[in-house]
Amino acid sequence: MADDSALDGYDIIGDVHGCADALVRLLRKLEYREQNGVWHHPARKAVFVGDIIDRGPQIRHAMNMVRRMVDSGSAYMVLGNHEFNAVAYSSHCHHAVPPPLQRYYRRLGSHLKTTLDDYRFHLHEWQDLIVWLRQLPIFLEFTHFRVVHACWDARRIAQAADCHQGCVLKDDDFLAQSLLPATEPNRVVERLLKGTEMELPAGRSLLGADGVRRTRFRTKFWSRSPQTYGDVVFQPDGLPDELVHQPLSADEQKRLLRYGSDQKALFVGHYWCQGKPRIIRDNIACLDYSAVKGGLLVAYRMGREHTLSNEQFVWVQSD
Ligand SMILES: [Mn+2]
């Protein structure tokens, strides 16, 4: 697919979230150079895992850097959930949604506040950005590796591939439906851009550190032979002790998504990892190390190898 055999390799870059200064330092460390306002490398290309916007100090600047790299052919980018939100929020199709969903749109608007503030004197540029974001792919597959923002689910990837080869937001109908719960486009977007979740047992809920009470929890899609809730949980808040040891039912086991260890190397962002970057498994690496909030902006230097290694991470402290 996207491979260029003349290249030495690819540098896959995690969630930037408006940290433009950190991105400049990371690109320098990876030996990219700026020429006529565009960062490029003579023998490598960058691949952004999405979530360039929201939260950070220089959103518009970071977005423009990435956009120029993609437009000049020195980088690829897949959509993150934050870019999806931006497109959803800015598209006129949401006027048709039923009143209960209007609250959802107000929430989208509040998530986008930092980005909308940064573009408030650049409205034409903002509208142009939305058009540009709509032609980006929701996943990328190279000969040796794959990139998606949160989760590679073969069934949902195949559905996305059927719609403009994965550039799903090009399609007005797909976009309109993706905003409505329980539609197939909505399931594709939720799964690929936000990952897998599981229901808590009936009547149970969790109070997150953010003060929100939830009846679902985020799960790993890479556990080898999970037996209990504790084996699959993957979120900052964790589960109460009594639920950690609760066995997974046969039905829950069956519904768990598992990315096999025989599959191609997979790169994701999204998960706010902490500490020193390390691979999740031989064939899975997360590149989101919470670039805002004092975390790291992380890249992985990928060559032609099939097995991932901790030695290939490169990172800088965030802005
Ligand atoms: Mn993110």
Question: According to the model, what pLDDT value does residue 106 have?
Answer: 72
81 C-alpha to center of ligand 1: Å? Answer: 7
237 C-alpha to center of ligand 1: Å? Answer: 17
* Of the candidates 293, 257, 258, the residue with the CA atom closest to the CA atom of residue 272: 293
For the segment 129-142, the average pLDDT, to the nearest whole number, is 97
Question: According to the model, what pLDDT value does residue 123 have?
Answer: 92
* Of the candidates 21, 18, 212, the residue with the CA atom closest to the CA atom of residue 118: 18
Whether 118 shows a pLDDT value over 60: the answer reads: yes
Among residues of the chain, what percentage have pLDDT more than 90?
70
23 C-alpha to center of ligand 1: Å? Answer: 15
What residues pack around ion ligand 1 (CB closer than 5 A)?
A: 15, 51
Question: According to the model, what pLDDT value does residue 110 have?
Answer: 77
* Of the candidates 188, 179, 193, 158, the residue with the CA atom closest to the CA atom of residue 98: 179
Whether 2 shows a pLDDT value over 60: the answer reads: no
Question: According to the model, what pLDDT value does residue 205 have?
Answer: 87
269 C-alpha to center of ligand 1: Å? Answer: 7
Among residues of the chain, what percentage have pLDDT more than 70?
94
Rounded to 10°, the helix 123-133/81-90 angle is 120
232 C-alpha to center of ligand 1: Å? Answer: 21
End-to-end CA distance of the chain: 35
203 C-alpha to center of ligand 1: Å? Answer: 30
Q: How far apart are CA 9 and CA 305, in angstroms?
A: 10
- CB neighbour list of residue 209: distance below 8 Å, 6 or more residues apart: 236, 237
Q: Identify the band that residue 223 occupies on the pLDDT scale cut at 50, 70 and 90.
A: confident
Q: Identify the band that residue 94 occupies on the pLDDT scale cut at 50, 70 and 90.
A: low
CB atoms within 10 A of CB 25: 17
Q: Identify the band that residue 93 occupies on the pLDDT scale cut at 50, 70 and 90.
A: low
Residue 248 DSSP code:
P
Structure-model confidence comparison of residues 14 and 105, the more confident one = 14
57 C-alpha to center of ligand 1: Å? Answer: 15
pTM of the predicted model as reported, rounded to 2 decimal places:
0.93
For the segment 43-52, the average pLDDT, to the nearest whole number, is 98
Q: How far is CA 208 from CA 121, 199, 239, 288, 312, in A?
A: 36, 15, 10, 20, 34
Report CA torsion sign: 86, 92, 93, 98. positive
Structure-model confidence comparison of residues 77 and 179, the more confident one = 77
Lowest-pLDDT range of 159-168, 220-229, 262-271: 220-229
Whether 1 shows a pLDDT value over 60: the answer reads: no
Question: According to the model, what pLDDT value does residue 306 have?
Answer: 84
Instruction: Show the domains of the chain with their CATH numbers.
Output: 9-195+260-317 (3.60.21.10), 198-255 (no CATH)
247 C-alpha to center of ligand 1: Å? Answer: 31
Lowest-pLDDT range of 37-41, 88-92, 181-185: 88-92
